[in-house]
Structure 1
Amino acid sequence: MRTVKICLAGAAAAAMVGFLAAPAAAAPTDTTTVTFEVLAGTLDIDAPAAADLGDGAPGSTITGALGPVTVTDSRGAADASWAATVTSTVFQTGGGTAAETVEPELIDYWSGPATATTGTGTFTPGQAAAVNAAPLSSVTPLPAFTHTGGTGGNTATWNPTLIVHVPLDSIAGVYTGTVTHSVA
């Protein structure tokens, strides 16, 4: 009997040592909370610094492309809508007498379709076709392009055409003015 008690005590002690010495059980999964931030950017417009539309005689029409105009919207907005507009100064040569100026109302603007877009939403040209060309103004902004709806970032590029109706009483010279695109 004493042998059985010693054996049982020994077995119990061995089991206790095995239990205490056993490695800890590892968790089968673990999680990590990850964060990042999307920063709000800006709404910008980029147009060519200069353009030469060509030449023509008094009473003629001079037509030429202005060059690519691009709106970049990186505001990251829930509603990524914007509207681009265009205005113009008076074009003049020499001293600026009546015969040496061409008023912006004598210059038609045609945005034409987008040459490239990115993002979601609807991109709409101010003047989709040449027949929709509209006169510029030094006071009232003319719609050039719009974007409605969509979320996050987007871009639109178009290559507008200017159509100058040269007055019959214009004198010879290089006429210079400023066409300004804005976006909001």
Structure 2
Amino acid sequence: MQSGTGFEIRTIFGALVVATAMAVITAGPAGAVDDTTTTTFTVSAGALGINAPATAPLGTGAAGGTITAQMGNVVVTDARAQLAPTWAATVASGDFTTGTATTDETIANDLVGYWSGPAISPSGSGATFVPGQPTAGDVVTLAASRPAFSLTAGVGNNSVTWNPTLIVNVPAAAVAGGYTGTVTHSVV
């Protein structure tokens, strides 16, 4: 029994030495002091912008008829990185003229219809985009500034694209020629 007792004592002593060594290793050297570093960084804010086609040829139509065409993609990009961003895009138009822009060579902006259509490739966390005129049945004239699109909810950066349609009601007395006018999209 003596030999068995010695073995047990050595095993217990060995386990005690290992446990003590582990405690010393995990506790670190005697007298160790911790120090913490507060780290910081900044998320930068960008801008809110809108981009529309530089030109939009709408085609040809007869006096007394209509000309209907899409303008091309309009894109709002919001890189302001806000907690609760919102924005509103509007559209306005001047008159369309040909020749020397006399009364007979002018198609007034109240004869030009606009509808934004739905969002194309919207992006943004929780973003809720609202088209000004989602369907052709919602068309408005450009006699005054009109809502085109808006963001009513979301978090952080977002963007949306739409391809608005213009409908020009050509008066029966319109003078033949190439008419030019400016359609302006804005965002705030």
TM-score for both structures, normalised by structure 2: 0.80
* Equivalent-residue separation in structure 2 for 1:136 and 1:171 (angstroms): 21
Aligned AA for 1:98? T
1:74-85 alignment runs, 5 A limit: 74-85=79-90
Identity of aligned residues (%): 54
CA deviation after TM superposition for structure 1 residue 76, in Å: 1.3
Q: How do 1:1-184 residues align onto structure 2 when only pairs under 5 Å count?
A: 25=29, 33-119=38-124, 120-137=126-143, 140-184=144-188
1:76 partner SS: coil
Any stretches of 5+ residues in structure 1 without a counterpart?
1-22
Deviations 1:124-170 (A, max 9, x none): 10000001111002xx3100001111121100100000000001100
Q: CA deviation at 1:78?
A: 1.8
Q: CA RMSD in A?
A: 1.9
Counterpart of 1:182 in 2: which secondary structure?
A: strand
Q: How many residues align?
A: 159
Q: Structure 2 counterpart of 1:181, which letter?
A: H
Partner SS for 2:91 = strand
- Aligned partners of 2:92, 2:41: CA distance in 1, in Å? 41
Partner Cα distance (1:174, 1:32) in 2: 69
Match of 2:177, SS? coil
Gapped runs of 5+ residues in structure 2? 1-24
Residue 62 of structure 1 deviates from its aligned partner by 0.2
